[in-house]
Amino acid sequence: AEYMGREKQVICMEEQGMKRMEMSAKAQDNMREGKNCLNTTICRCKPDYLEAVPHFKEAAKLFLNLEDYENALFCFQQLATCNHELEDHFEVGEAFKRVALIYLDKKNDPKKAKESFTKAVHAYQIHGNVLQAQVMMMEIATKSAHKKFDDLAEDIFKKIIDDVFEEEAYTNLGKAVPEYIEFLLSRNKLGEALKIYEKHIVYLGKIKKQSNVLARTCFCVVCVFVIMDEPYVAQDRLRGYEQVYPEIIGTSYFNAGHDLINAVCNRNETLLRKTTQRPIVSQIETGLHKKLSAVKIRVSVSAEEKKEEAKKSPSPKEPIRESSVLKVDEIKIEKAEEKTIEKEISKSEDINIQHNPDVIPAIDGKQKSPQQIKGPSLENSPEPPASPVGEDKFGGIFKQWKLYSQLNYIALLY
């Protein structure tokens, strides 16, 4: 049985190989025939573009199945050239569209893909098929976002939105806005998403249709402001919408917006959970709904943090912090030093100098003679004026010592 199974696998592989060879040969033949149709001969003075189109079209399909993308690109480009000469601009757009998709999906070359899709859009516009151009642009923009070609995707999305708003074609706007919003939210571009939402609201207010869609878009704006942690701005914006677009009052989205704002402003986790779990809220963009869930988690986490901080907060019985103790001690020490210095000075003034007239008491408790005192010499100093009754003969020396002690006290203070 194992041997028979291997035999079958070998046979299948051989059959597939034969089919690929046949397809390759057929594709080469068609491409050769197409080239021959474009060559001029003695009997053919002009290229036969009409005859070459089916050959290049068949060859391009076969090369795509064979994953021979170089030859497929060549055939599609030749097909676009032939249809351009035949003035079939719709087929020109289709050919450049396939070229853009090959460069985007298989070659991972967004620059060449952008060039090709720009040519395709131009061909569709010349043909007058704007709808097909927008559908093609949506397809390429979505694929670019999936392939992480953000610059190309954003350029295409912006062009789609601008074209749709200018032409007031809501048919494709309903598809373009959610896709672009999802793209912006996935890249955390909340500001750009908010601009598109507000532009959409203005457009819906002009056409006076789709009141439910208008209410949904207003609710999405509220959600964006709540996610950006600006619930009071969301409240003001919703009040403005209520005045300008009274048709949204009473709708489910309008009530959900009010409940969402109240829940976030009041930190009511229960109301927030009930609001985000409503069926209408789950119908908004996926990225927006996920970010609303993050707001729900952030509110619950902040409540828990408040509880933990309340537990860790110091009670009034706890001692004062070390820094404040140091400051209080320093103030006490300075005041004590000032008091001791004042006491020493007052004591020194009351000393009876008659016991030892040659020695003068000092502030630090040690005795010094007049020769050891620094300052102006007392030998050449003028005699003091006549003192009042009761002053002894050492009155002048005592006054000099008193002045010196006061200066020493000031120096100690500083």
Residue with the bigger pLDDT between 267 and 311: it is 267
Sequence letter at residue 184: L
DSSP, residue by residue, 21-63: HHHHHHHHHHHHHHHHHHS--SS-SS--HHHHHHHHHHHHHHH
Residue 91: phi, psi to the nearest 5?
Answer: -70, -30
The pTM of this model reads 0.58
Residue with the bigger pLDDT between 402 and 341: it is 402
Reported as half-sphere exposure (CB side, CA atoms, 13 A), residue 109 has a value of 11
Residue 294: phi, psi to the nearest 5?
Answer: -65, -35
Is pLDDT of 347 > 60? Answer: no
Residue with the bigger pLDDT between 390 and 152: it is 152
Sequence letter at residue 60: A
The answer to whether the beta carbons of residues 264 and 231 sit under 8 Å apart is: yes
User: Cα separation of 200 and 190, whole Å?
Assistant: 15
Residues across the chain: 414
Which residue, among 215, 130, 117, 135, has the nearest Cα to 179 in the 3D structure?
A: 135
Per-position b or e across 381-414, b if 16+ CB within 10 A of its CB: eeeeeeeeeeeeeebbbbebbeebbeebeeeeee
Question: What are the residues facing 368 on neighbouring strands?
Answer: 360
Quickly state the pLDDT bin for 299 (edges 50, 70, 90): very low
Is pLDDT of 336 > 70? Answer: no
Is pLDDT of 154 > 80? Answer: yes
pLDDT of residue 135: 80
Quickly state the pLDDT bin for 100 (edges 50, 70, 90): very high
Least confident piece of the model among 43-57, 125-139, 236-250, 315-329: 315-329
CA distances from 242 to 106, 206, 280, 361 (A): 49, 16, 19, 92
What confidence tens digit (pLDDT) does each residue in 197-214 have? 888 888 888 877 778 888
Q: How many distinct helices (H) and strands (E) make up the chain? A: 16, 2
CA distances from 56 to 24, 25, 327, 363 (A): 14, 14, 93, 116
Percent of the chain clearing pLDDT 90 (strictly above): 20
User: Cα separation of 36 and 33, whole Å?
Assistant: 5
What are the structure tokens assigned to 299, written together? 């509110």
Which residue, among 335, 343, 336, 334, has the nearest Cα to 363 in the 3D structure?
A: 343
